[in-house]
């Protein structure tokens, strides 16, 4: 998750835990998250708890799903079709993405020219 989402959800700094394993961004840059938070994620009637890293860098997205969330649901991600399918209540459920929004995010990511590096001096890395 990115700082704007963290701040928008009004999450508490005391709920953060340290996290310092590097990630590789879509641009190929190495980014080291300063912290993570464990949050419940609800998809339909299903709720799973997932550790979410907070990354202080630019992204047109508010959050990026990762394997732990998919594994917790027993889900399969179909990126070509913008869907996630998972077993629940004896049947297969699906979450369908918004292709127009995904396209807007991609255009924003490609056309953006960062004016400054992300800040590193804010409280808890946010």
Give residue-wise pLDDT tens across range 48-74. Answer: 888 888 888 777 666 776 677 788 888
Greater model confidence, 121 or 3: 3
Break the chain into its structural domains and give their ranges. 3-113
User: What are 7-49's pLDDT values in tens digits?
Assistant: 888 888 888 899 888 888 777 888 888 788 888 888 778 888 8
Q: Which residues of 105-125 are buried (b: 16+ CB within 10 A; e: fewer)?
A: eeeeeeeeeeeeeeeeeeeeb
Q: What is the mean pLDDT of residues 94-105?
A: 78
Query: What's the pLDDT score for residue 122?
Result: 45
């Amino acid at each position: 998750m990115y700082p704007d989402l963290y701040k928008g959800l009004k999450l508490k700094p005391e709920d953060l835990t340290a996290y310092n394993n590097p990630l590789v961004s879509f641009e190929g840059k190495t980014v080291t998250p300063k912290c993570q938070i464990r949050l419940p994620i609800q998809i339909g009637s299903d709720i799973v708890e997932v550790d979410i890293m907070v990354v202080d860098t630019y992204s047109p997205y508010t959050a990026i799903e990762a394997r732990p969330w998919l594994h917790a649901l027993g889900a399969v991600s179909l990126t070509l079709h913008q869907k996630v399918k998972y077993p629940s209540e004896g049947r297969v459920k699906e979450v369908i993405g918004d292709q127009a929004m995904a396209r807007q995010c991609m255009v924003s990511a490609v056309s953006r020219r960062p004016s400054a590096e992300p800040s590193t001096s804010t409280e808890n890395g946010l």
